[in-house]
Structure 1
Amino acid sequence: MLHAENLQSGYGAAQVLFGVNLDIQAHQVVSLLGRNGMGKTTTVRTLMGMLPLKGGSITFDGQPVGGQRPHRIAKLGFGLVPEGRRVFPSLSVYENLVATSRNDYGGSWTLDAVYELFPRLKERNSQSARTLSGGEQQMLAIGRALLTNPRLLILDEATEGLAPVIRQEIWSCLNRLKAEGQTILLIDKNLKEMHHLVDRHYIIEKGRIVWSGNSQELQEQPDLVTQYLGV
């Protein structure tokens, strides 16, 4: 589905990515792992067109998409749950959800489906997003992304800073999405929760992919985890 080859990108004159390669097949859950500052979010922003592609290529279903504007990439079926949630604070829960919703190619995600997934959002339907807890805002960010009916869902640190009970609710949601065949690119630090969820891991170090493999292979290499992930 998504193939990124030799990605080079950064911020102004500061290069951050030095040849990142990623391959995500339809219905796979793929993780991008690494310590802070190694290029994970930069990779996401480059895939989404939020940063310029300075080298390499990105294809989606065999068609080149590298260098396209973010709104065009989103229309192709990319759904993003950004780091820091980034909900619209002055809008209600309902307004946040419907602001970017789309169902023009028969997707299964509707407002009712999101409320069934996260009943707490239905309870707070008319509340301003700024009044929600951090966990509720994360649910809102995920629900908003799902309502675009994405073909590829990208989650950047979706469980960071949340209470354990909320984190577990998010992981349950991701396991359900995997069971339903949703293609996912996931950035997170919780290897235990990702073990049975993720089909393939990529580790990034200083803007380069230094290892890739499945969960079992990663579990069998504790030195690798210590060296590149610091856990």
Structure 2
Amino acid sequence: MLKAEKIESGYAESKVLFGLDLEIPDKSVASLIGRNGMGKTTTVRTLMGMLPLQAGSITFDGQVVNGFRPHKMARLGCGLVPEGRHVFPSLTVYENLYATARNDHQGPWSLDTVYELFPRLHERRNQSARTLSGGEQQMLAIGRALMTNPRLLILDEATEGLAPVIRQEIWACLRRLKEQGQTILLIDKNLKEMHDFVDRHYMIEKGRIVWRGSSDELMAQPELVDQYLGV
């Protein structure tokens, strides 16, 4: 579905990605893992058109999307749950969800199905987003992305900083999405939760993919975890 080949990107004069390769087949789950500052979020921003592509090529469903802006990537079917959630604080839960709904109503996700996935959002549908807990805001951020009916859902640190019980609830919802055939790119630090969830891991170090493989292959090489993921 999505393929990045030898992409380079960064901020002004500071290059962060150096020939990064990444491929996510349809109906699969991939992870991008690595220590902080290695280029994970920069990769997401480049794929979504939030940062200019300096070199290389990005294709989505066979179409070259080099230079596409975020709104165009969203229309193609890329939904993003950004790091830090970034919900609209002055809008209600309902208004946050409605704001990103597809106009053509194509796809499985609607207010009813998002509320079914996250009943707490239905309970708080008339509250402003600023009154929600961090976990509830994360549910809202995921629900808002789903309302675009994405073919590819990208989640940047979707469980970071949440209480354990809320993290488990988020993981349960993500597993439901996988069972329904949702294609996912995930950035997260919890290798235990990702073990039976992710089909293929991509390990990033200083803007390059240094290893790729399955969860079983990763767990069989603890030296990789220490070298590239250890603090």
Specify the TM-score bucket, using the shorter chain as the normaliser: over 0.9
Aligned to 1:188: 188
Structure 1 partner of 2:153: 153
Report the Cα offset of residue 106 of structure 1: 2.7
Which residue in the other structure is 2:83 paired with?
83
RMSD after superposition = 0.9
The one-letter code matched in structure 1 to 2:121 is L
* Cα distance, 1:38 vs structure 2: 0.1
Does 2:161 align with 1:137? no
Q: 8 Å contact 1:5–1:58 — kept in the other structure?
A: yes
**Large movers: runs of 4+ above 4 Å:** none
TM-superposed deviation, 1:103: 5.8
In the superposition, the TM-score normalised over structure 2's length comes to: 0.99
Q: CA deviation at 1:105?
A: 6.4
C-alpha distance in 1, partners of 2:180/2:148?
16
The question of whether the paired residues in 2 share the 8 Å contact of 1:30 and 1:198 is answered with: yes
Residue 72 of structure 1 corresponds to 72
CA offset digits 1:88-138 (Å, max 9, x no partner): 000000000000111636300010101011111011010000000000000
**Distance in 1 separating the partners of 2:185 and 2:83:** 13
Structure 1 residue 69: Cα displacement:
1.0
What number of residue pairs does the alignment pair up? Answer: 231
1:7-44 CA-partner distances (Å, limit 9, x unpaired) = 10000000000011000000000000000000000000
1:216 is aligned to 2:219: no
Q: Secondary structure at the residue paired with 1:150?
A: coil
Name the SS for the 2:45 alignment partner: helix
Give the Cα–Cα distance (whole angstroms) in 2 for the partners of residues 35 and 105 of structure 1.
Answer: 39
2:101 matched residue in structure 1: 101
Q: Are the counterparts in 2 of residues 103 and 149 from structure 1 also a CA contact under 8 Å?
A: no
Separation in structure 2 between the aligned mates of residue 25 and residue 44 of structure 1, nearest angstrom:
16
Partner of 2:54: 54
Measure how far apart 1:195 and its partner are: 0.3
Amino acid corresponding to residue 102 of structure 2 in structure 1? R
The AA in structure 2 aligned to 1:197 is: F
5+ long unaligned stretches in structure 2: none
Distance 1:123 1:63 in 2: 40
AA aligned to 2:198 is V
Match of 2:116 in 1: 116
- Cα distance in structure 2, aligned partners of 1:184 and 1:141: 15
Amino acid at match of 2:125: N
* Letter in structure 1 aligned against 2:9: S
The amino acid that maps onto 1:60 is: F
User: 43-52 or 94-103: which moved more?
Assistant: 94-103
Shift of 1:139: 0.2
**Partner AA of 1:85 in structure 2:** R
